Structure formats: C-alpha cells, structure tokens
Amino acid sequence: MLKPLDENTGYGLGRRPIFPLDACNVGFSDGGRQLLDRVSLTLTQGLKTVIMGANGAGKSLLMRVLHGLVKPEVGAVLWARVPADAEVMSRQAMVFQKPSLLRRSAEGNIQFVLGHLNRSEAESRTREILERAGLSAVARTPARLLSGGEQQRLAVARALALEPDILFLDEPCASLDPASTMAVEEMIETAHQTGTKIVLVTHDIGQARRLADEIVFMSGGRIAEHTAARQFFDGPVSAAARDYLAGRLHVPGYSAGT
C-alpha cells in the first residue's frame, strides 16, 4: 500500500510521522534533588530548537530523556502522540557533549554506522561524508589523535551519516575555534535544509542567535521559557534568562531587577 509523500517528515514513501515530539510532565530526581521538574515541551518539525540554560540546569539530561537513553521517573516522551518504538528510535541521532569516538580511524568511525550498506557502498559513502566534513586528509588517522575540532566534526558527521529525522547536539562547538565552529554550523544548517529536525544545546549566545528558530530556556530542572528566538533575545521574560544573558549568576527567588 503506497502512502503519499509525508508532509510531516519530508521523507519519502512509507515513513510514518514522528512529530510533534512531546515531553509530557517529565520528572527525574536523584537522591531528593529534582533534576527535571515536571518538564512539558512540544517540539515540531522544521524549526531549529536551541536549548539554553546555566550549567547543571538539566539540558543534557533532558536531551537524554528525549533521545530515549534515560527513562524518566514520571511522565512520558511521545512521538506523534505515541511512545517511541524501535523504528522511531532508529530515526534519531545524537552528538554527545563529550565526543564519544570509537578507537578506530576517522573513516572506521563513519563506517561503523553504515553497517547496513555493502562494503563498496559504505566506502564511497564514507569518503563523501568525510569530504563534506573536511576530514578527508585525516581519514586513516586514529580518531583520538584528531584535534578537538576535528573530533567534533567527525562526531557530527557520524551522526549525520545515519540520516536521522531528528538530530540532538549537545554543545557540539564547545572549545572550537571560530572556523571550526562555522564548519560545524554549516553541517547543521545543511542537515536542517534536507529535513532533519535540529535540537541543539549551546552556551554560545552568538551561535544561538545564528542558528535558533526557537529557544528553550532551562533553569533548575524546569523550562523557564520556550519562545521564538528573536523574542527571546529581544526581551526574555524569565528572570533566570535575563540574568543568563546578562552574564549574571541567577539566584532563584531573587530577581536582580532591571
């Protein structure tokens, strides 16, 4: 039975929609500390979502919950209104805050996720992907000997090699120089243009301004604000966001005022 072109994913025939992605009342605690506090969030396809917030706000944890690596204690994550099944799981990819590369060459890292292709296909795909990530010259270098920027590019390239419908990126440009940052941002932008939903965590306000369509601002395990990017940067509503953008330490319950 043929299905019409799927508007929701932008992908071809036979793929069921996975958006919107809903976090419903998600909670997670650790020894009495509420790390995620009744988080509810709806992410739609097509917008680049940037998650911001102070260190320890729960950004990485939320991403893990959304990606299905951590099971929330309460609440649920729904994809197009139903919990993720194996197929939905396989349509996601994530780039971790600490780039977790295999102890293999750069090309070995890419080939590892192309197991479904035959050998010659995988090899030519790998060349193509490394080329696009600007890593052709270091294809056979052990991944752990690459520079920090090269490692991040490799991690992003590997995630994109999966051709995911949604890509989670946890501070992919931390400690990268401006040129490398630009390169990674370009890769993200290309992915977005080919229909991949982007969810990105960053502390780099400039990057957020460049990439974000919408901002999710977290503070103390809660979502303090979820607004369009322009609105967020022009006039953040929450005190925590105002403090964050102004470079001040936010003390809950105490508003620094303006």
Ligand X SMILES: Nc1ncnc2c1ncn2[C@@H]1O[C@H](COP(=O)(O)OP(=O)(O)OP(=O)(O)O)[C@@H](O)[C@H]1O
Residues forming the site for other proteins (CB under 8 A): 67, 69, 86, 89-90, 92-94, 96, 100, 102-105, 112-113, 115, 140-142, 162
Q: Which residues lie closer than 8 Å to 161 by C-beta, 6 or more apart?
A: 110, 113, 114, 125, 126, 129
Q: Which of 56, 83, 206, 235 binds ligand X (CB under 6 A)?
A: 56
Q: Which is nearer to ligand X, 142 or 220 (CB)?
A: 220
Query: How far is it between the farthest Cα atoms of the chain?
Result: 62
Q: Token pair for residue 61?
A: 């944890």
Q: How far is the CB of 26 from ligand X (least distance, A)?
A: 12
Among 7, 30, 85, 234, binds ligand X (CB under 6 A): 30
Asked if 202 touches Mg ion (CB under 5 A), the answer is no
User: Is residue 60 involved in binding Mg ion (CB under 5 A)?
Assistant: yes
Minimal distance in Å, beta carbon 159 to other proteins? 9
Give me the residue whose beta carbon is nearest to Mg ion: 60
Cβ distance to other proteins smaller for residue 7 or 116: 116
83-121 b/e (C-beta count within 10 Å ≥ 16 → b): ebeeebeebbbbbbeebebeeebbbbbbbebbeeeeeee
Residue 123 CB, shortest distance to other proteins, in Å, is 13
Minimal distance, residue 97 CB to Mg ion, in Å: 5
Non-local CB neighbours of 102 within 8 Å, separated by 6+ positions: 108, 109, 112, 143
Residue range at the interface with Mg ion (CB under 5 A); choices 24-32, 52-60, 103-111, 240-248: 52-60
Contact pattern from residue 97 through residue 116 relative to ligand X, giving x for each residue in contact according to CB under 6 A and a dash for the rest: x-------------------
